[in-house]
């Protein structure tokens, strides 16, 4: 109930603000590329800092035992998630990338890298299933942003997400910046939500108004039990 009230307040605040101003700032911020020059403990982390703040809130609130990340890139986001886990004293990160594990990836006792395979390959999914069995799990999708691939990831990884935890689809904003990249993550989210009643979009996570993950903060709902 409290969550829904908060979401309603965020929605009302957004309606009172000029959508053109918010959209224009988003476009300027994105096109400037400044978000691509961010560092976490010296390692590049290609995220909107407002979203990074939301990530740490989610991790500290939901206390996942395992955070599964698809798309490693430089390893900066994996290091960020592991650092938050270190601060709260629990949790580990499993980061998956189609490229082989690189020497430049940051080393951290709470990070495991799975490289050289697609996130949707059967052997990868089997390994993830074994790693998260019986554990509180959160998933962050940030690999290939085509609609087809994101839909495949959503269907494959949704079952791993624990009740009350999050399945986050990153960069669902790219269609507004690069029409040539459509259809993309946003269209995959829309398809996924038509197929399931197990997740809801948590609009409160977009309360800073500028996010690279609009409609991408998907919270797993409690199962309906007899």
The tens digit of pLDDT for each residue in 71-129 reads 999 999 999 999 999 999 999 999 999 999 999 999 999 999 999 999 999 999 999 99
With 70 as the cut, is the pLDDT of residue 165 above it? Answer: yes
Indicate the SS3 state at residue 1: coil
pTM above 0.75, yes or no: yes
Q: Which of the pair, 116 or 176, is modelled with greater confidence?
A: 116
d(Cα 74, Cα 45) in Å, to the nearest integer? Answer: 7
Cis check for the bond before 14: say yes or no (omega within 30 of 0).
no
Mean pLDDT of 191-219: 96
Q: Which domains occur in the chain, in start order? A: 2-220 (3.40.50.150)
| Whether 70 contacts 143, CB under 8 Å | yes
Q: What is the pLDDT of residue 215?
A: 97
With 90 as the cut, is the pLDDT of residue 223 above it? Answer: no
| Whether 100 contacts 75, CB under 8 Å | no
Categorize the per-residue pLDDT at 9 as very low, low, confident or very high, splitting at 50, 70 and 90.
low
The tens digit of pLDDT for each residue in 129-152 reads 999 999 999 999 999 999 999 999
| Whether 186 contacts 214, CB under 8 Å | yes
- Calculate the average pLDDT of the chain: 93
> Helix crossing, 147-157 with 185-195: angle to 10°?
40
| Whether 78 contacts 111, CB under 8 Å | yes
Least confident window among 149-158, 172-181, 204-213 = 172-181
Please report, for the chain, how many H helices and E strands are present, in that order.
8, 9
């Amino acid at each position: 109930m409290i969550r829904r009230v908060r979401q309603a307040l965020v929605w009302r605040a957004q309606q009172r603000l000029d959508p053109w101003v918010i959209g224009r700032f988003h476009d300027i911020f994105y096109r400037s590329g400044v978000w691509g020059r961010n560092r976490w403990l010296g390692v590049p982390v290609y995220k909107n800092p407002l979203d990074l703040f939301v990530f740490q809130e989610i991790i500290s609130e939901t206390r996942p035992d395992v955070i599964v990340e698809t798309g490693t890139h430089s390893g900066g986001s994996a290091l960020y998630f592991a650092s938050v886990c270190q601060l709260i004293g629990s949790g580990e990160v499993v980061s998956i990338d189609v490229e082989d594990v690189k020497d430049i990836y940051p080393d951290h006792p709470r990070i495991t890298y799975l490289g050289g395979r697609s996130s949707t390959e059967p052997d990868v999914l089997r390994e993830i299933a074994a790693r998260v069995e019986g554990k509180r799990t959160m998933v962050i999708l940030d690999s290939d942003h085509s609609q087809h691939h994101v839909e495949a990831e959503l269907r494959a990884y949704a079952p791993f997400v624990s009740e009350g935890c999050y399945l986050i689809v990153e960069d669902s904003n790219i269609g507004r910046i690069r029409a040539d990249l459509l259809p993309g993550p946003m269209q995959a989210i829309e398809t996924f939500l038509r197929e399931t009643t197990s997740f809801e979009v948590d609009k409160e996570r977009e309360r800073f108004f500028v996010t690279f993950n609009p409609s991408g903060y998907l919270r797993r709902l409690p199962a309906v039990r007899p």
